[in-house]
């Protein structure tokens, strides 16, 4: 698979990574452990070298899974994980105190069965801790060899600038897809200016852009999409226009909607590395096929024109979660 570079310090990763959260967290029952390990290793066999996890996915359970799966491949892969929630539990609130960051790093090293964290993100900006203090703490961890690169997630332009001035940021991870394009306004130009890579999470709209979620679909209590306004029955019905558009584009190219959605992201900038997640091998292979699809300027202009006619309905998160983003 084609390689891409995150940040000016040259963190090289596969053009598509694997978001591992859904293997054990947020989308219903966890995948059987051996099946999950098999999927992660199958991704590497197919060219994926970039794997994303976090303390909060479990908490700790997802990191342990990644550690076991990638231990035999450790020197051939890049592992990203995150700190920033009290006790690793998002519902307990934010915690990016320096002592907590160090504690999370040491625990992650053990769970990941490694001697270094390739990319260490602040999961969400903590307004109680100056971002400069966070960046300086990660800088100390880099100097100690425990961390190689620093990242932020869902951070505002102001936070990015302030943190980057203390410790260069390799990557920002935030949501970005055909149905959530807010980063194009202020964030992407800033990342270009500072030489920071961009790692879109939910590049397939939490499954919606695959075309497999029909209007009227409901989600169980263990699936966090049941709490998201954008996945309410009314919003799903209204937003089918987006899926219809992507499906039409895919049919014209002999591709799937998921492949077009990912190829569109890859075409935006060479510094963009999407991390779609899946629990199924055939979906993994479908997603990776996007790396072989090239959308030219005419394709992109056609997509932009078509999307301009569609209004996406529903917020990304419930009101209680909105306060955690873009700080």
Q: How far apart are CA 292 and CA 243, in angstroms?
A: 21
Q: Which helix (H) or strand (E) holds 98?
A: helix 98-111
Which amino acids are annotated catalytic? 57
| CA–CA separation, 154 and 157 (whole Å) | 10
Q: Are 67 and 113 in contact (CB under 8 A)?
A: yes
The structure tokens listed for 104 are 């999370």
Residues 6+ apart with CB under 8 A from 261: 177, 178, 203, 204, 205, 209, 210, 246, 290
Beta-carbon count within 10 A of 260 CB: 26
C-alpha span between 204 and 260 (Å, rounded): 10
């Amino acid at each position: 698979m084609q390689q891409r570079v995150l940040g000016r310090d040259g963190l090289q990763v596969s053009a598509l990574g694997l978001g591992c959260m859904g293997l054990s967290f947020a989308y219903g029952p966890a995948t059987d452990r051996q099946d999950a390990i098999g999927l992660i290793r199958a991704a590497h066999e197919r060219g994926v070298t970039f794997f994303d996890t976090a303390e909060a996915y479990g908490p700790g359970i997802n990191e342990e899974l990644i550690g076991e799966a990638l231990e035999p491949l450790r020197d051939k892969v890049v592992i990203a994980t995150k700190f920033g929630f009290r006790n690793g539990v998002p519902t307990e609130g934010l915690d990016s105190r320096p002592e907590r960051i160090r504690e999370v790093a040491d625990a992650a090293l053990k769970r990941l069965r490694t001697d270094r964290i390739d990319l260490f993100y602040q999961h969400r900006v903590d307004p109680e801790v100056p971002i400069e203090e966070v960046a300086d703490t990660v800088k100390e961890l880099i100097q100690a060899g425990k961390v190689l690169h620093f990242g932020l997630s869902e951070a505002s332009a102001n936070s990015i600038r302030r943190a980057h001035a203390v410790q260069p940021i390799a990557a920002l991870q935030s949501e970005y897809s055909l149905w959530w394009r807010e980063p194009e306004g202020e964030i992407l130009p800033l990342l270009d200016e500072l030489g920071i890579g961009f790692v879109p999470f939910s590049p397939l709209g939490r499954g919606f852009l695959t075309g497999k979620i029909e209007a009227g679909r409901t989600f169980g209590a263990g699936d966090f999409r049941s709490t998201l306004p954008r996945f309410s029955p009314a919003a799903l019905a209204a937003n089918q226009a987006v899926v219809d558009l992507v499906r039409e584009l895919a049919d014209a190219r002999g591709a799937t909607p998921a492949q077009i959605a990912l190829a569109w992201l890859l075409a935006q900038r060479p510094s963009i590395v999407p991390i779609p997640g899946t629990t199924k091998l055939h979906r993994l292979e479908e997603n990776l096929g996007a790396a072989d699809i090239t959308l030219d300027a005419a394709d992109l202009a056609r997509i932009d024109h078509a999307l301009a006619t569609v209004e996406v309905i529903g917020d990304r998160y419930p009101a209680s979660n909105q306060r955690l983003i873009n700080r």
